[in-house]
């Protein structure tokens, strides 16, 4: 599955009812952003993120680790945790594994992530090993804290558990219903460290496993090599989540390697810059060649944008800096990604795997 990114409890420009119509089953929220604004205490008292943003389907929150490392100034890492300054107002904050999990419990997503250190690229091997070991110690602390506090998720007191409980004899009782905690594999661009991180993270034991610390500036073939080597060390009967990738071609390719879950800002961020993914390849809608083009953006796309509007109109909206340009472009790009994943799932259900689709993709490209 592909998870659109809703950083601050919003997929920029797209209301929740449209996301539902597009078939979005799960959104990603960023703990770092939600912690700074509006604050986890507020979200908790309002019943958790699902109620706050009126999103009844699934949500995953990241641990805040990646944003701390990529967005904040003056971060200082110690064994205990990381001190960082808010990118909003410069205020100083401290995240430790326990507080990152606590924040995620209060936000109340369905899937939450262990606190990790995203190793910078490039980095010396000893630095990568040290960072990987720190992430493993933080993974243990994340799990320990989660096990002790997983009953505190805000929606447990809001859900009519008696009514929602189908058959207590056949499975876990509703009162045990809580979040799922995933571990994160690190290890930089070092294949041996990645394998070791995967096995030791698995040893700690999580509901699912993520591959973090990729798409941080390394060449694409390196990303793929790391994913391929790591995914085979993770259990195939549990979710395997590749964080922060990629292009439509890449998400098909990674699915083929055994990845189950992906998230990326690419479809939404590119859309806001007029870069659109289509079955005929990428289109930069700002180009003058589309000024009088009456064709739909993608003739093979059935989304509400392609059914109704022409390339000429989309180009005009973009050139006029209209808000609607961002809205329509985002809806199409998300639709294209979700359609791609639907095609992958269909291909897998037919026993053909995602490789079939990869071949179709490469043939369709000019």
Q: How far is the CB of 347 from Zn ion (least distance, A)?
A: 20
Cis bond upstream, residue 122 (ω within 30): yes
Q: List phi, psi (to 5°) of 235.
A: -65, 130
Q: How far is the CB of 305 from Zn ion (least distance, A)?
A: 5
User: Cβ contacts of residue 271 below 8 Å, gap of 6+?
Assistant: 326, 329, 330, 332, 333, 334
Helix (H, G, I), strand (E, B) or coil at 268: helix
**Where on the chain is the footprint of Zn ion (CB under 5 A)?**
301, 303, 305-306, 332
Q: How far is the CB of 295 from Zn ion (least distance, A)?
A: 12
Considering the complex, state which of residue 227 and residue 305 has its C-beta at the smaller distance from Zn ion: 305
Considering the complex, state which of residue 93 and residue 304 has its C-beta at the smaller distance from Zn ion: 304
Q: Residue 315: enclosing H or E segment and its boundaries?
A: helix 311-319
Considering the complex, state which of residue 14 and residue 301 has its C-beta at the smaller distance from Zn ion: 301
**Euclidean distance between CA atoms 130 and 133, whole angstroms:** 5
Catalytic residue among 62, 190, 253, 298: 62
**Euclidean distance between CA atoms 358 and 356, whole angstroms:** 5
**Euclidean distance between CA atoms 211 and 240, whole angstroms:** 8
Q: How far is the CB of 271 from Zn ion (least distance, A)?
A: 11
On whether the CB atoms of residues 136 and 212 are closer than 8 A, the answer is no
Catalytic residue among 190, 263, 298, 339: 263
62 given a catalytic annotation: yes
Give CA torsion, residues 13, 16, 19, 23, to 10 deg: 170
Considering the complex, state which of residue 156 and residue 332 has its C-beta at the smaller distance from Zn ion: 332
Q: How far is the CB of 306 from Zn ion (least distance, A)?
A: 3
Considering the complex, state which of residue 31 and residue 278 has its C-beta at the smaller distance from Zn ion: 278
On whether the CB atoms of residues 287 and 301 are closer than 8 A, the answer is no
**Euclidean distance between CA atoms 59 and 31, whole angstroms:** 12
110 given a catalytic annotation: no
* Catalytic residue IDs: 62, 263
């Amino acid at each position: 599955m592909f998870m659109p990114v809703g950083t601050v409890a919003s997929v920029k420009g797209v209301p929740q009812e449209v996301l539902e119509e597009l078939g979005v089953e799960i959104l990603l929220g960023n703990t770092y952003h939600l912690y700074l604004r509006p604050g986890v205490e507020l979200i908790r008292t309002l019943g958790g993120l699902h109620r706050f943003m009126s999103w009844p389907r699934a949500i995953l929150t990241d641990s805040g680790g990646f944003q701390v490392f990529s967005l904040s100034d003056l971060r200082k890492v110690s064994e205990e945790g990381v001190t960082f300054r808010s990118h909003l107002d410069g205020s100083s904050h401290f995240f430790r594994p326990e507080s990152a999990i606590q924040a995620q419990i209060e936000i109340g997503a369905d899937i939450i992530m262990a606190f990790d250190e995203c190793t910078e690229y490039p980095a010396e091997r000893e630095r990568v090993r040290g960072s990987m070991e720190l992430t493993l110690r933080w993974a243990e602390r994340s799990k320990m804290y989660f096990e002790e506090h997983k009953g505190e998720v805000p929606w447990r007191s809001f859900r009519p558990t008696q009514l929602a409980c189908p058959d207590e004899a056949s499975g876990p009782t509703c009162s045990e219903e809580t979040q799922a905690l995933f571990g994160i594999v690190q290890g930089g661009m070092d294949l041996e460290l990645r394998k070791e991180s995967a096995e030791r993270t698995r040893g700690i034991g999580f509901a699912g496993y993520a591959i973090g610390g990729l798409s941080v500036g390394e060449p694409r073939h390196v990303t793929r090599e790391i994913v391929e080597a790591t995914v085979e060390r993770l259990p195939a009967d549990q979710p395997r989540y590749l964080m922060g990738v990629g292009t439509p071609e890449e998400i098909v390719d990674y699915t083929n390697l055994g990845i189950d879950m992906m998230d990326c800002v690419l479809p939404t961020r590119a859309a806001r810059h007029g870069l659109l993914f289509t079955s005929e390849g990428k289109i930069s809608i700002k180009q003058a060649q589309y000024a009088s083009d009456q064709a739909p953006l993608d003739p093979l796309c059935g989304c509400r944008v392609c059914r109704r509007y022409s390339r000429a109109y989309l180009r005009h909206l973009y050139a006029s800096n209209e808000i609607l340009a961002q809205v329509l472009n985002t809806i199409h790009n998300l639709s294209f990604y979700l359609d791609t994943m639907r095609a992958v799932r269909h291909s897998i259900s037919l026993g053909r795997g995602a490789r079939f689709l990869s071949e179709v993709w490469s043939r369709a490209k000019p």
